[in-house]
Structure 1
Amino acid sequence: MKQLIRKLLGSGLLPNTYYGAIRYPRMAKAISHKNDDSQPKVTVVMPVYNVAEYLLDALSSVLSQSYKNFEVIAVNDGSSDGSEKILEMLSAEIAHLTVINQKNAGVAEARNRGVAAMSSDSKYLMFIDSDDLLPKRSIAKLVAAAENSDAQLTAGKTVTFYGVRYFDRPSTASFFAADRAGIKIEQMPELLGDAVVWNKLFRVDYWRAQGFRFPSGVNYEDMTLAAESYLNADRISLVSDAVYFWRVRAEGESRSTVRFEQASLEDRLLSMEQIANRIKAKIRAGEVSTAVLESYQRRIIRHDLQLFVPYLEHVDATYFSTLKVRCKALVGKVSPEQFEAAGGRYNEVLRMVMSSTRAEAIRTLQTLEKAENRLTA
């Protein structure tokens, strides 16, 4: 263990001051880990791209899990910052870590490559991003919930962290207020708002039966897949404990695409349209009620569509036209009462986007912001 730490520090990939952040006991546990085949095997897929500063912490949080039967497949997506070297050093010492190197192809293809490399005896599959963390008992808690209810999909609470500050992810925390076992989406349609894959444990036979695959070349690549996994599951279980720590980076450092970029707008709208279309198909087939669609429409009014409104003053006519036309297609038939009940800071502005001109929508936005500034002055 000490030799591995010396190698990492001597490589120049990590500053010496970072030693204090290397959780020595966790890495020692990772190196000495031996799988217990009496427990269901879990594959954890981690796409890696230029995250050397965070990679060791992310890997140590996974590799030192209390659960006794898992493998980690880290897919290096053409990193150029030393991440590849860190992975090579660790994989030479840690038997349950497999590293795959590929030319840069994006997070979707990295995840797909990791899934394809999964061991044939794995019963469960999960994902972690390479700058985030897993609490020590994440895998154990998710597997226990899945096994106790024969769930095809199990999800748990995400906690956001920035530096040393940790807080519940506001947009989804209420979904995980209590443990739930063996439910369907009809019983809790708001789960469609939990449109990420990294707080979830998928049963492998369910994943394969659904033919799930991440679409490449788009932003928000996991939104449709995550929603569809909830929609199609016969048995969903929820864990109220935190199972995932999602890192928020400093302004300007985040990997998130700037929201006023046209591609970002179109990709998120496409994901929302795909999810809405999947729900409508389920309604036509008699598999879910219209309440599921209504719940999803409230969600995107309150959250997803609101994300783009603050940038109206900085975008061009093409952006505004795209937002206008596709918002109307998504929620244009929602009644005024339901629209108001959905909530959301920019509801009135969003209505103006759909019904009026760009100039009028911007004036409405400016009026709202001035009123808020007066209240906080």
Structure 2
Amino acid sequence: MALLSVVVPVYNVAPYLAECLESIAAQTYRDLDVVLVDDGSTDDSARIAAGFAARDERFRLVSQPNAGLGAARNTGVRAARGELLQFVDSDDVLPPDAARTLAAAIACTGSDFATGNTLRLDSRGLRPSRMHARIFTHTRLRTHVTRDPELLGDRTAWNKVFRRAFWDRHGFAFPEGVLYEDTPVMVPAHVLARSVDVVHTPVYHWRRREGGDRSITQRREETRNFVDRFDGVDGVSRFLGEGGWADLRRWYDASAVRSDLAFYLRVLPEAPDEYIHVFLDRCNEFLDRVPPRVLDRLPAATRVQWHLVRQRRVPELLEVIRASRDGGVPVVRRGLRRYRALPYLDAGLPYLPRRLYRAGPSRLRRTFTAINHKIKFLDSCR
């Protein structure tokens, strides 16, 4: 078996670290080189990591002053010795066969990397990750994002095993000094790979921190959090455009509007004025490049919200967001048409035409529409 290097950045995760490292030590894939990068921890994390390194010769501890997750991962890659490369965040957990499942896939197919399904972990147990569930419905070997555009949504580093030669050939490195390091590397990796193996089996348990100990993805109401996420999304969009992948760029931009940027749209009622102004400026800059039909195809509630973003109508925007949060906005009829009963539906405002509120088609019709869109996309790539 090829030597697999597992890079584990460590920073102030003492309550979770032992469980994480035990799950790595217990992997059924035994030929491991585990690089623990202590990124200037101020709690017991470094001591816990050193204890594992002393007990298990496969574990090595590298220490550096605090520089952030991206820098710690890059340090780990430079220290890694293996032909294969894997990343694990130090508050998460690996199922016992995770490394073997992914490494076996690329050994069989020759693909540049393998990516697997993910479960969310909290005090109540395990449940599917909504971010990953639609992508990992079934196993597909030797596929590629041009044939399987849903893979544009597979943007996390830690559910994958890479060939080190592929990583080095393209000079991949995580951005440093920012939050959300994964997307600017993972989407280009999907595009530049010759082929990718997509594995339905869950290979990662992604912890949802509870109480006051919140992870980065749980702090979306912070201005820096949004700016770093936006810059990553914008950079990938430009990468696809400059590389000539116009069809992929359209799919990616639409996905960003539906998910990445929409996550921040939902927290605007709790955000300070500075955050709201930055959000409006950045998102309108992005939407200037997105075809209007992308917004037209969104669900009614999201469509109305983005329209108000374009209009910079803050009071109305915040009211619609609050009304949409429960997800149970009723459908009402006006003549022969069906509409979502959101604020201002019947206000007759010139900047909020009623057509924006139209309720979507039935589930069956949505399924056929999605299939048709995918067929057209695949035809355009031939």
* Of 205, 217, 224, the match for 2:177: 217
Mapping 1:267-282, distance limit 5 Å = 267-282=228-243
The alignment status of 1:61 with 2:23, answered yes or no, reads: yes
TM-score (norm 2): 0.81
What does residue 48 of structure 1 align with? 10
The alignment status of 1:246 with 2:206, answered yes or no, reads: yes
Distance 2:281 2:243 in 1: 24
What does residue 177 of structure 1 align with? 137
* Of 287, 294, 308, the match for 1:352: 308
Runs of 4 or more off by more than 6 Å in structure 1?
none
The alignment partner of 2:83 has SS state of: strand
- Using the TM superposition, give the Cα deviation of residue 72 of structure 1 relative to its aligned residue in structure 2, in angstroms: 0.5
Q: Kindly indicate whether the alpha-carbon contact (under 8 Å) linking 1:178 and 1:240 is maintained by their aligned counterparts in 2.
A: yes
Q: Which amino acid aligns with 1:293?
A: R
Mapping 1:11-90, distance limit 5 Å = 39-90=1-52
What does residue 325 of structure 1 align with? 281
- Using the TM superposition, give the Cα deviation of residue 270 of structure 1 relative to its aligned residue in structure 2, in angstroms: 0.5
CA deviations over 1:216-254 (Å, ceiling 9, x no partner): 111101221111111111111111100111011103212
Q: Which amino acid aligns with 1:319?
A: Y
Do the aligned partners of residues 308 and 86 (structure 1) sit closer, same or farther apart at CA in structure 2, a change above 3 Å counting? Answer: same
User: RMSD of the alignment, in Å?
Assistant: 2.1
- Using the TM superposition, give the Cα deviation of residue 335 of structure 1 relative to its aligned residue in structure 2, in angstroms: 4.8
Question: In proportion to residue count, which structure has more helix?
Answer: 1
The alignment partner of 1:186 has SS state of: coil
The alignment partner of 1:237 has SS state of: strand
The alignment partner of 2:203 has SS state of: strand
- Unaligned 5+ segments in structure 2 are 332-382
Q: Kindly indicate whether the alpha-carbon contact (under 8 Å) linking 1:303 and 1:344 is maintained by their aligned counterparts in 2.
A: no
What does residue 307 of structure 1 align with? 263
Do the aligned partners of residues 366 and 118 (structure 1) sit closer, same or farther apart at CA in structure 2, a change above 3 Å counting? Answer: closer
- Using the TM superposition, give the Cα deviation of residue 341 of structure 1 relative to its aligned residue in structure 2, in angstroms: 2.5
TM-score (norm 1): 0.82
What does residue 335 of structure 2 align with? none
Distance 1:373 1:251 in 2: 29
- Using the TM superposition, give the Cα deviation of residue 132 of structure 1 relative to its aligned residue in structure 2, in angstroms: 0.5
What does residue 102 of structure 2 align with? 142
Do the aligned partners of residues 293 and 371 (structure 1) sit closer, same or farther apart at CA in structure 2, a change above 3 Å counting? Answer: closer
Distance 2:48 2:175 in 1: 28
Distance 2:33 2:193 in 1: 25
* Of 56, 67, 77, the match for 1:105: 67
- Using the TM superposition, give the Cα deviation of residue 298 of structure 1 relative to its aligned residue in structure 2, in angstroms: 2.2
Distance 1:74 1:99 in 2: 5
The alignment partner of 2:127 has SS state of: strand
Q: Kindly indicate whether the alpha-carbon contact (under 8 Å) linking 2:140 and 2:197 is maintained by their aligned counterparts in 1.
A: yes
CA deviations over 1:46-74 (Å, ceiling 9, x no partner): 01111111111100101111013111111
* Of 196, 205, 222, the match for 1:261: 222
- Using the TM superposition, give the Cα deviation of residue 295 of structure 1 relative to its aligned residue in structure 2, in angstroms: 1.6
- Using the TM superposition, give the Cα deviation of residue 368 of structure 1 relative to its aligned residue in structure 2, in angstroms: 3.4
Q: Which amino acid aligns with 1:65?
A: Q
Q: Kindly indicate whether the alpha-carbon contact (under 8 Å) linking 2:208 and 2:215 is maintained by their aligned counterparts in 1.
A: no
- Using the TM superposition, give the Cα deviation of residue 322 of structure 1 relative to its aligned residue in structure 2, in angstroms: 2.5
Distance 1:208 1:345 in 2: 44
Q: Kindly indicate whether the alpha-carbon contact (under 8 Å) linking 2:9 and 2:90 is maintained by their aligned counterparts in 1.
A: yes
Q: Kindly indicate whether the alpha-carbon contact (under 8 Å) linking 2:102 and 2:115 is maintained by their aligned counterparts in 1.
A: yes
- Using the TM superposition, give the Cα deviation of residue 367 of structure 1 relative to its aligned residue in structure 2, in angstroms: 4.1
Percent same amino acid among aligned pairs? 29
CA deviations over 1:126-173 (Å, ceiling 9, x no partner): 100111111101111101111111111210001111124211111221
